[in-house]
Structure 1
Amino acid sequence: MKRLASTGFGTACVLFLQGCSGWQSALDPKGPAASELAWLIWFFTALCAVIWVLVMIALATPLMMRSRDGAEPLVLDAGADHRKLRVVVIAVGLTAVIVVGLTLLSFFANRTLAAIGSDAALTIRVTGHQWWWEVRYEDATPSRILTTANEIHIPAGEPVRLLLTSTDVIHSFWVPSLSGKLDLIPGHINVLDIKADKPGVYRGQCAEFCGAQHANMGTFIIAEPKEKFDAWWNDQLQPSGPPASDEAKAGEDLFLKRPCVMCHRIGGTPAGGTIAPDLTHIASRRTLAAGTLTMSRGNIAAWIADPQGVKPGSHMPVVELNGDELNAMVAYLEGLK
């Protein structure tokens, strides 16, 4: 029985510690903002644990002490009352000191977070939609402004400023390994500065309930060396290439003749919709539907054929296609890299 209890305790500890790491954990920081927040979390937790233990000791001590034999319960003990008063005063004083100290720690942590993006060279506007992320890379040269969706590429080791807003309801942008969460509010811009210490892929999530598919509103921040990031940006600015096969060409013709063209944009084609994700280089992304499906030919087909089955409540309508038309459309879209 003792061995079983020990094994169970060890298993529980392992499972608990697994939650402290991973690509979506606030306790596995990969940037200065997340590191500052993780330090605060651990410090607050440790301090609260110590306080709880001291309070439990203070409660248990008088319960375990035996009263003096023969002592008259109604007789006042001035010495004992004085000691109790002193304990209460000390406890109140320590409480005030702890509250003030934690407030100051929070203040200095916020000041540290605010300084991260003070010299940011890259500004990205992130707009929340139900249920996907519009990502716009700002640049002083209009021809270099880039709009994409759901994935955010950044140069590793450099601060980046995110301008957060929404077009419909309140969303909340949260990439735990890189920063704290911040709301996206319609008609208002909030500023969030992030920095990834090293290259990697960091998953994010909408952290404010925003409707039926709130849980399927994910994002990925992909931190790359500066040279690789610049090459990615330059590649994304290019229009889509011509279809590589007759089937893909037929798919392009279908895309331009069906309702898809009213909502989506594909650079280099007449498709210029702005109310749904830009598809110019959709096949270069890791996922579909804001992290709901991994990018593959089969998942592209599933998403086109039955978007409501994949993401109920999404604003993408069903487009009636027969088998050959669906294959042609998929062939075209999987070539948009």
Structure 2
Amino acid sequence: MDTVEKKVGVTEKLMKREEERLAELQKRKEEKGNDASALDGVKYFLEKFNQEKCVILDSLEKIETLGKNERLLEFDRISQSLQSLQKFHSDSTMFLPSYDVRQSQEALANLLTRVQEKREKLFPKKKFAFSSKKKLAKSEEKKIENNDTIEPPVDNEVQMADCTVQEKSHASIEMDEAMVLKKDVSLINNHFSTIKVFGAPSTVHMKNLSHCVVIVGPVSSSVFISDCKQCTFVLACQQLRTHSTVESKFYLHVTSRAIIEDCSQLKFAPYSLTYPDMDTHFVTAGLDKSKNNWNDVDDFNWLACDVHSPNWSILEEDEREEFKF
């Protein structure tokens, strides 16, 4: 091998070594870049997580300064924010270190406890009393005559409703605009009955209904449902809150978000009611007819963000009904 060939061989070896060295440097650079990206991702998560947590805590502190209806809407927003934060956490755990996962899970659990405690304080489960004012007055007079101690009456929205339908069975009842416009309506202890409420009431309360069909035109604020079973509800409202209700269908128009708690076997479909003056009643109630969150249901008993609650489902299209009058 002559001198020229030796030089070429040495040069090739040096070039190969240089290429290997550069490749190794590039590999290290990429690994360092990936580490930096991972650190940036963790930093972004922690900043966003803590920011959203503080917003929720701040809202919880301020909610008691609001009026009753504003509290309901604000608590609905808090619940949505908490659910969004839970989803953000769930989507981020794949790249978070185990320490940060544990810390954020603990923070979420504490935050959920704070929200539940505030809900129980602001919206305690009510003990309903359905005696009429006249019966209550007579009862109090009798107690005075007998020198008995008078217990204060239960103070709740249902007892003070402007219009009440109660203790009906196998009945067909219709309440028109003249009866319910801007008034509180309560439907109590009714069974196997059809009840229609047309005319933009302020609020509607329902308790202990079974095998009933309840058809309600636009409601300007909230509908509250409790302890009902095997009913069909046709409702348009700003907010729906349903407690302890089972095996029921909802044809719903709601502009915020439906909330259920301690419920099971509920099915939801879009509002399917038509009757004369309904469009006028939507305007009177202040409801946006183009905005309907009928299939956006918040189950307070189901905290998993990535798995659908087993307590409610979408009513199949071929099972849906139309309600025309």
Q: TM-score, normalised by structure 2?
A: 0.30
Q: Greater strand percent: which structure?
A: 2
TM-score, normalised via structure 1 length: 0.29
Structure with greater Cα Rg: 2
